[in-house]
């Protein structure tokens, strides 16, 4: 798909992608200017900002028939977004990654912060899939942003800048689009926006609505038996009020809501025909996202006093039907006759057998997350009319998160081997009951769990620039933070007990410290500048889920596995990790403003890395182990070829690897980090031609993303805690290569002023297929290959827009 990113310090300055508030170009043949607010010190020309930032133009996204979060990564260097379903997106930047996201790990914290205006909304792996619609732009900041944006932005920050109400005039748009996906069902979306002054020049309302249905393209051949099973529906709305009683005070009140439901995951099994999966019950996600924001801005003369208040109320649901992982409970081990009503249900097949897999009782794996988040930030921002520009503020956040996890399996209590191998039980009839024996929430629950978190943080920050001379700027910033967390866990069911005793845990943790940044910028001329920066990034720690320890069964396996890594038990919690990033860059305009070239290089040292140790007994925990080093270059250019033709080119190279052995993730010194390609490159050609009755706009784009790997090393490892030696131990059962992608897209739009017609095509050559791969391990006999996340195949559509 063809997503247009604006110019940056590794940013695309789209020749035809002028932001709504950017000044007009002096010459129609020059690259037009883009204005951003990433410094949080007022609007600035992107070409004058000494940082790596891209500004994505929303109008171009609309014309190309794109609107999802994953589209942001398709033409933005050094950004990777892995999507399993709507609302389940994992953001990575500059190679800073250690492994896959796990839905049950509430302590896995974001490395990339996602903001709506001044409000962070990111949850690791579960950032809401807000549609890229009715925005001024999307700003993508690469590199640590901890001074201004806090913890969770140590790799970068993505900001959705919403379009604000206009108090002077009434206007609106209505758009409808329909598209067809190869291998799948048809799709549509409706988008509407209206802006109305309620009190002329003083009070205005801007309201938007999005309703869409993305047709499925994954067929389910299991007992679910559903064609195009991963259908997804989304309803999104936003209402904003702007009040400007005078020229010194502005108040913005906004409410954003998104309701989405996916009736399947974007997963297929590699052993079946393309885009096919087999499950015995439905899969999917739900997301109920609600955000209230109040932003106040008062011009006090010497500075602006800015207050940002926000409250987020969110409910996230995840449903998985993963029968192969529990198939061993129901297979025969001792030569008993097979029965459909008692254990065993089947003999273990010699190879994958669809009939046997259909016989496994449906696993209704369910995780529900509840997130409530209140935050307040107050800043004082000086005017840019003196030798020193300063920005000082205080930030407060209180967040609660409650995770409910349950895995009901109808018939488990009577159809599994529990009674045969472990009975009789202390129940009235001597038979196994998940609820009474293993404290599950209900009978036939193989696992039940709760995780409750309460977090508080306060921070004080300042970010200042000294204009030493007309050419030389020195900038410095620092953030002091204080963080605390309380954590409670309960686990029951056969997967959550030791000797029928539930696992419970109470943990607390605290962290505080300083996060600095220093930048030196030299303006060689009005059209060329160079800069160097050193910045620290940080991320809070968290609590671990307990690992059972005992003298038999899973608990003994866990105990021995822990001992091999030098642990007597899993750590109760883990601490913050941090990094130092060093970068140099330039921004320049050439050929009388017809060419922009922006490039930077970075070196990152990541220490005390939060790494997840996956034990052979199926449990896991996180600890601060090892170092990772990331080095790379990013370059982007816009060339105004003619008055009508604009070419943008961008590319990035990243070398991110383990700096020394990291036993917890099986990494040897020099191993490449997972889930990030070494090479990303894109070319986009824009054609804009005025016609007698309107304007013709065309885009042709291509993007290449190199291959990625799912773990550090293709070999399994064994660690000797006594000698400290990490050794290879045969082929890894979890390592996989995600193939390189080649993404070709095109669009054509005819704008008649009040009406606009367009056609578009994305992933035209089906060059983007697998975006993630989960290897089948001990349960491979019951699953037809690996579980691969599949991108939407070739999609072609048309759109019609009315402006009034």
For 512-548, how does the pLDDT look when each residue is reduced to its tens digit (9 = 90+)? 999 999 999 999 999 999 999 999 999 999 999 888 8
Phi, psi of 35 (to 5 degrees): -110, 135
**Please, which pLDDT band fits residue 408 given cuts at 50, 70 and 90?**
very high
| Segment 249-277, tens digit of pLDDT | 999 999 999 999 999 999 999 999 999 99
User: Between vectors from CA 782 to CA 776 and to CA 783, what angle results, nearest 5°?
Assistant: 45
Q: What is the pLDDT of residue 735?
A: 95
- Residue 1 has a pLDDT of 33
Q: How far apart are CA 207 and CA 402, in angstroms?
A: 32
pLDDT > 70? residue 308 = yes
387: left (phi > 0), else alpha (psi -120 to 50), else beta? alpha
Q: Among all chains, which residue has been given the structure tokens 């890395």?
A: 609
Confidence band for 105, pLDDT divided at 50, 70 and 90 = confident
Residue 617 has pLDDT above 90, yes or no: no
> What would the mean pLDDT of 228-234 be, rounded to a whole number?
96
> Among 7-21, 156-170, 364-378, 785-799, which stretch is predicted with the lowest mean pLDDT?
7-21
Q: Model confidence over 421-455: pLDDT tens digits?
A: 999 999 999 999 999 999 999 999 999 999 999 99
pLDDT digits (tens, 9 = 90+) for 322-372: 999 999 999 999 999 999 999 999 999 999 999 999 999 999 999 999 999
DSSP character string of 435-461? HHHH--SSTTEEEEEEEEEEEEEEEEE
Residues 569 and 549: beta-carbon distance below 8 Å: yes
pLDDT band at 27 (very low <50, low <70, confident <90, very high): low
Report pLDDT for 23.
Answer: 40
Pair of tokens at residue 571: 């750590």
3-state DSSP call for residue 665? helix
> What is the per-residue pLDDT for 396?
97
Above 80 in pLDDT, residue 681?
Answer: yes
**For residues 340 and 87, which has the higher predicted lDDT (pLDDT)?**
340
- Contact between 167 and 559 under an 8 Å Cβ cutoff? The reply is no
Of 105, 112, 205, give the one whose Cα is nearest residue 675. Answer: 112
The SS3 call for residue 610 is strand
Residue 420 has pLDDT above 80, yes or no: yes
Per-residue confidence (pLDDT) for residue 314, from 0 to 100: 96
Question: Which letter, b or e, does each residue of 443-461 get, where b requires 16 or more Cβ atoms within 10 Å of its Cβ?
Answer: bbbbbbbbbbbebebbbeb
Question: Is 509 in a helix, a strand, or coil?
Answer: strand
- 626 vs 426: CA distance, rounded Å: 47
- Angle (nearest 5°) at CA 64 between 804 and 757: 40
- For range 137-146, the mean pLDDT: 92
* pLDDT over 80 at 59, yes or no: yes
Q: Are β-strands 112-116 and 156-162 bridged in parallel, bridged antiparallel, or unpaired?
A: parallel
Please give the class, per CATH, of domain 5-803.
mainly beta
Query: Per-residue pLDDT for 13 more than 80?
Result: no
Compute the average pLDDT of residues 575-601.
95
pLDDT of residue 125: 75
- Tell me the C-alpha distance between 107 and 123, whole Å: 10
User: Of 750 and 25, which is predicted with more confidence?
Assistant: 750
Position 702 pLDDT exceeds 60: yes
**What number is the average pLDDT over the span 173-178?**
96
pLDDT (mean) for 286-314:
96
Residues 725-753 as b or e (16 or more Cβ within 10 Å = b):
ebeeeeebebbbebbebebbbbbbbbbee
Residue 58 has pLDDT above 90, yes or no: no
Where are the domains positioned within the chain?
5-803
Angle at the Cα of 490 from the Cα atoms of 489 and 491, rounded to 5 degrees? 125
pLDDT band at 9 (very low <50, low <70, confident <90, very high): very low
Q: Strand runs (DSSP E) across 659-794, as ranges?
A: 679-690, 695-705, 708-709, 715-720, 725-731, 737-738, 741-751, 755-762, 770-774, 787-790
If one counts every other C-beta atom within 10 angstroms of the C-beta of residue 428, the result is 8
The residues near 335 (Cβ < 8 Å, ≥ 6 apart) are none
The span from the CA of 420 to the CA of 182, in Å, is: 49
In this prediction, residues 731-743 reach a mean pLDDT of 95
Residue listed under structure tokens 């974001």: 110
CA 519 – CA 535 distance, rounded (Å): 8
Beta partners for residue 119, in sequence order:
116
Instruction: Output the pLDDT for position 804.
Output: 94
Please give the mean pLDDT across all residues of the chain: 91
Judged against a pLDDT cut of 80, whether residue 17 lies above it is answered with no
Is it the case that residue 24 has pLDDT exceeding 60?
A: no
Share of the chain above pLDDT 90, in %: 78
pLDDT at position 83? 81
pLDDT bin (cut points 50, 70, 90) of residue 66 is: confident
The rounded distance, in Å, linking the Cα atoms of 82 and 80 is 7
What is the rounded CA–CA span in Å between residue 630 and residue 95? 6
Nearest CA among 10, 35, 74, 136 for reference residue 699: 74
Say what the pLDDT of residue 431 is.
96
- Hey, is 357 helix, strand or coil? helix
């Amino acid at each position: 798909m063809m997503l247009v990113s604006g110019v940056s310090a590794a940013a695309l300055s789209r020749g035809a992608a002028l932001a709504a508030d950017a000044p007009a170009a002096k010459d129609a043949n020059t690259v037009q200017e883009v204005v951003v607010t990433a410094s949080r010190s007022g609007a600035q020309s992107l070409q004058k900002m000494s940082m790596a930032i891209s500004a994505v133009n929303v109008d171009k996204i609309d014309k190309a028939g794109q609107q999802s979060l994953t589209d942001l990564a398709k033409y933005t260097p050094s950004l990777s977004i892995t999507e399993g379903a709507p609302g389940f997106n994992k953001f990575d930047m500059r190679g800073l990654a250690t492994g896959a996201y796990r839905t049950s790990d509430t302590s896995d914290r974001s490395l990339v912060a996602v903001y709506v205006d001044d409000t962070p909304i990111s949850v690791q792996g579960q950032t809401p899939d807000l549609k890229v619609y009715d925005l001024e732009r999307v700003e993508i900041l690469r590199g640590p942003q901890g001074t201004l944006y806090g913890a969770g932005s140590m790799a970068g920050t993505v900001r959705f800048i919403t379009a604000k109400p206009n108090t002077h005039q009434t206007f609106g748009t209505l758009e409808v689009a329909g598209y067809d996906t190869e291998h799948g069902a048809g799709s549509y979306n409706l988008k509407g926006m209206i802006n109305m002054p309620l009190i002329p020049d003083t009070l205005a309302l801007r309201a938007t609505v999005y309703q869409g249905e993305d047709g499925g393209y994954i067929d389910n051949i299991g007992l679910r038996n559903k064609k195009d099973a991963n259908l997804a529906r989304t309803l999104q709305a936003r209402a904003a009020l702007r009040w400007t009683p005078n020229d010194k005070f502005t108040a913005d009140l906004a409410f954003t809501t998104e309701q989405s439901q996916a009736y399947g995951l974007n997963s297929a099994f590699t052993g079946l025909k393309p885009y096919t999966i087999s499950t015995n019950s439905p899969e999917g996600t739900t997301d109920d996202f609600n955000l209230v924001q109040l932003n106040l801005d008062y011009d006090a003369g010497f500075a602006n006093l800015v207050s940002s208040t926000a409250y987020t109320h969110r409910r996230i649901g995840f449903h998985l039907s993963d029968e192969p992982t529990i198939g061993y409970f129901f297979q025969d081990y001792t030569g008993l006759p097979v029965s459909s009503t008692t254990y065993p249900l089947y003999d273990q097949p010699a190879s994958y057998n669809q009939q046997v897999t259909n016989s496994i009782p449906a696993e209704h794996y369910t995780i529900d997350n509840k997130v409530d988040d209140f935050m307040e930030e107050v800043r004082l921002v000086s005017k840019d009319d003196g030798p020193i520009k300063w920005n000082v503020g205080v930030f407060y956040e209180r967040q609660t998160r409650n995770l409910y996890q349950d895995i009901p399996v109808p018939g488990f209590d009577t159809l599994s081997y529990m009674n045969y191998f472990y009975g009789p039980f202390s129940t009235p009839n001597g038979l196994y009951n998940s609820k009474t024996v293993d404290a599950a929430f209900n009978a036939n629950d193989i696992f039940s769990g709760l995780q409750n978190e309460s977090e508080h943080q306060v921070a004080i920050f300042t970010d200042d620039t000294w204009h030493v001379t007309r050419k030389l700027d020195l900038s410095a910033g620092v953030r002091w933070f204080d963080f605390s967390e309380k954590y409670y866990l309960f686990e029951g069911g056969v997967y959550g007990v030791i000797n029928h005793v539930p696992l419970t845990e109470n943990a607390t943790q605290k962290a505080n410290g300083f996060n600095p940044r220093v930048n030196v910028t030299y303006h060689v001329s009005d059209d060329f500048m160079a800069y160097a920066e050193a910045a620290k990034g940080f991320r809070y720690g968290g609590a671990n889920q307990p690992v059972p320890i005992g003298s038999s069964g899973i608990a003994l396996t866990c105990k021995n596995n822990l001992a091999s890594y030098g642990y007597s038990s899993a750590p109760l919690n883990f601490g913050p990790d941090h990094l130092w990033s060093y970068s140099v860059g330039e921004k320049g305009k050439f050929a009388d403003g017809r060419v922009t070239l922006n490039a930077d290089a970075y070196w990152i040292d990541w220490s005390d890395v939060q790494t997840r140790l996956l034990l052979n007994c199926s449990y896991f925990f996180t600890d601060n182990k090892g170092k990772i080093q990331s080095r790379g270059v990013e370059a982007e250019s816009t060339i105004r070829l003619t008055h009508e033709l604009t070419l943008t080119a961008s590319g990035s190279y990243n070398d991110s690897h383990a700096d020394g052995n990291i036993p917890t993730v099986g990494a040897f010194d020099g191993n490449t980090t997972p889930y990030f390609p070494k090479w990303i490159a894109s070319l986009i050609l824009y054609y804009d031609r005025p016609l007698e009755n309107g304007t013709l706009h065309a885009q042709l784009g291509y993007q290449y993303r190199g291959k990625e790997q799912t773990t550090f090393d293709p070999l399994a490892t064994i660690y000797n805690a006594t000698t400290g030696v990490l050794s290879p131990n045969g082929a890894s059962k979890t390592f996989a290569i995600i193939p390189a992608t080649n993404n070709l897209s095109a669009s054509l739009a005819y704008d008649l002023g009040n009406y606009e017609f367009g056609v578009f095509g994305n992933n035209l050559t089906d060059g983007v297929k697998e975006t993630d791969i989960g290897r089948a391990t001990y349960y491979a006999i019951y699953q037809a290959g690996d579980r691969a996340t599949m991108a939407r195949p070739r999609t072609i559509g048309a759109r019609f827009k009315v402006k009034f």
